[in-house]
Amino acid sequence: MNLIHPFLVEALGESVNNSCQTILGIPGTLKDKTIFPEEPCIISSIGFTGNIEGNFSIYISDSNACRLVSKMLQTEIDETTTDVIDGIAEMINVIAGGVKMRIAQQKQTFNISIPTTIKGSRMVILASTGKAENICLHFSVENICLSVTLIYKMHEDKKAVEERKAQAHLDAMQTLNALINNKN
Amino acid sequence: MKKILVVDDSGVQRKMIIQIIQKAGFQNPILEAGDGAQAIQTLATNFQDVGIVLCDWNMPNMNGLEFISAIAKVPAVACIPVVMVTTEGTADKIAEAKAANPNLAGYIAKPFTPEVLQSTITPILQSNI
């Protein structure tokens, strides 16, 4: 776990809440977990790269996606049209932008890519393997349930890595010298 | 009455912007483009009638920055007020956009409220009838 992690958790939560408030006119409520009905769902994901790299994803059932985009466009939509797919992609785009603005205050930056949206059945969110960190938050907006994940890893500053290596080398030499001096 | 050109690769985002404009009472004809290249084609045939361009940043083919930079170099369209409507809301991105097009008339970071969009475009359209 790194120092930026708690800030990212907060930034993601705030960004989702702010996005719901401004796009839908209703704030999102953070939930402990989301129970998805046994129905097809939509996952829209957007990658980013920079000091921090990874991706944001939104996970929402088909019926909830229709309700959410209906509120966005103030019209009734009851099937997953291209507007629904597009609307969910726009939602994750805006959420990613919100996190980007918030982490700029921490001198961190990244560039956002173009969203990819997939639709299917019985999909589950899995954490990425390797050194990536995983944040998963669940929200409810007027009983519309959605989950948002942020999977990321930090890019270490090359200068900082070199300095850390040099310091470790120095420490090792001092320890070795101390051992030799003690023996003598 | 001047036309409003909305440039965004997201059809839903274009619809949301158009809804806000129309609900605010503007009856200006609205043109749409899905990227910067389409927007240039649209401007080529409508440049005398367009009173404001609302433009996203991240789009395929030609992005918003490339688009506003390109039109800034063409005298016939350089004076058309452009408002960026984008998730790229950091200070360095705003500075980059202003450098690309000195006539940038506004910058709206997504997500935005209808009030923010209305208050940004109203004075531009009123002074550019």
B15-43 mean pLDDT: 94
Q: Which residues from B are below 8 Å from A109, CB to CB?
A: 90, 92
A104 contacts chain B (CB < 8 A): yes
Contact B60 A114 (CB under 8 A): yes
Whether A164 maps to a domain, the answer reads no
Whether A52 maps to a domain, the answer reads yes
pLDDT of residue A170: 83
Bond from prior residue into B111 cis (ω within 30 degrees of 0)? yes
CB of B2 closer than 8 Å to CB of B27: no
Per-residue pLDDT of A58-116, as tens digits, reads 999 999 999 999 999 989 999 999 999 999 999 999 999 999 999 888 888 888 888 89
Q: Which residues from A are below 8 Å from B11, CB to CB?
A: 82-83, 86
Whether A137 maps to a domain, the answer reads yes
Whether A33 maps to a domain, the answer reads yes
Q: Nearest-CA distance from A176 to chain B in Å?
A: 48
pLDDT of residue A143: 87
Q: Nearest-CA distance from B92 to chain A in Å?
A: 10
Per-residue pLDDT of A124-159, as tens digits, reads 666 666 678 889 999 998 889 999 999 998 876 667
Lowest mean pLDDT among A95-104, A116-125, B9-18: A116-125
pLDDT of residue A36: 59
CB of A100 closer than 8 Å to CB of A53: no
Q: Nearest-CA distance from B49 to chain A in Å?
A: 28
Whether A172 maps to a domain, the answer reads no
**pLDDT confidence bin for A121, thresholds 50/70/90:** confident
Q: Which residues from A are below 8 Å from B88, CB to CB?
A: 97, 100, 112
In this complex, which of A22, A83, A96 lies closest to B87 when CB atoms are compared? Answer: A96
The DSSP letter of residue A36 is: P
Question: What is the CATH number for A113?
Answer: 3.40.1550.10
- pLDDT above 90 for A37: no
Structural domains counted in chain A = 1
- Domain containing A149 equals 5-157
**Cβ-Cβ contacts under 8 Å for B24 (sequence gap 6 or more):** B114, B117, B118, B122
Strands B50-55 and B3-7: parallel
Q: Which residues from B are below 8 Å from A117, CB to CB?
A: none
Domains observed in chain B: 3-126 (3.40.50.2300)
B89 contacts chain A (CB < 8 A): yes
CB of B82 closer than 8 Å to CB of B95: no
> How far apart are the two ends of chain B, measured CA to CA in Å?
6
DSSP run (H or E) holding B98: helix B91-100
Whether A76 maps to a domain, the answer reads yes
Whether A37 maps to a domain, the answer reads yes
A17-43 mean pLDDT: 81
More confident residue, B48 or B127: B48
Whether A151 maps to a domain, the answer reads yes
B21-49 mean pLDDT: 94
